[in-house]
Amino acid sequence: MAKIGFIGLGIMGAHMARNLQKGGHSLVVNGKFPVPDDLRASTAVVADSTAVAQESEIIILMVPDTPDVQNVLFADDGVAKGLSAGKLVIDMSSISPLETQQFAKQINALGCDYLDAPVSGGEVGARDATLSIMVGGPQKSFDLAKPLFEIMGKNISLVGDNGAGQTTKVANQIIVALNIEAVAEALLFAARSGADPERVRKALMGGFASSRILEVHGERMTKRTFNPGFRIELHQKDLNLALDGARKLGIALPHTASAQQLFSVCAANGGKAWDHSAMIRALEIMANFEIAEAPASQAKAA
């Protein structure tokens, strides 16, 4: 079993770390960052990221954004200072594909391999070990890391060289955002027309419109449970990567831009830390109508 350094024990990272422990691996964590009490009691807590790298065979990062990864890797007390040849760094954060390629080159120059392995599935996927994991990097490193990925997720794919994993994750976030927008618009339309949005959601689950977004986030919308599984501000970050990349590629992503604007409406109304399913709140604000206000006459008649 491997000795794994895990940096980034947030909403998703903490669950991923717990699953690795359940799989029999020992963990080393950075005590400078928040560590949940149960993990603090069951892991080796060291002084900084340099010490994490020194004490571990494989180092996993799960932090919010590109600058965070850069800092964890290359600060004065960063991972790079504690690496020795032959170790493996796995970044499971969702960050810039172009910056990822540069980070990989810097880590490779130290005699170590690098995988970018962003995930999709949110808090539920992290907790239940059902994450989709999109990996960029060399085949031999992927083969080494795959048993760890299989502890944390179900759909695991090597999609190309370093940066390809992050590119795939950006594409994933475009699809997720646009699906959330579609579900939100549909449920708002249904509710404003006088239908019970939860009954509509359940009816749609039996047809061609069925999706994981309709199942999980549609229910969040009707039940108004916007505590974060994946925060709006993080999805905004991912869509910024998509839109910035589109500008550099000379292509248009019009509906990605509209989804980003809806997230911005939420953020402007105090919702940057809401779950991304709360995009519906932007549409509700513009409509001056909340789907929770829909009449319950159908439910009473049942």
Burial of residue 189 (CB within 10 Å: 0-12, 13-18, 19+) is middle
Annotated active-site residue in 32, 105, 169, 248:
169
CA quadruple 299, 300, 301, 302: dihedral sign: positive
Strand, coil or helix: 27: strand
State in Å, rounded, how far the first CA of the chain is from the last one.
Answer: 56
Residue 32 among the catalytic residues? no
Kindly state the tokens that stand for 87: 């170790």
Match 């603090």 to its residue by tokens: 40
Contacts of residue 245, defined as CB under 8 A and 6 or more positions apart, other chains included, come to 97, 170
Kindly state the tokens that stand for 141: 């490193």
Where residue 270 falls (left for φ over 0; alpha for ψ -120 to 50; beta otherwise) is left
Active-site residues, by number, are: 169
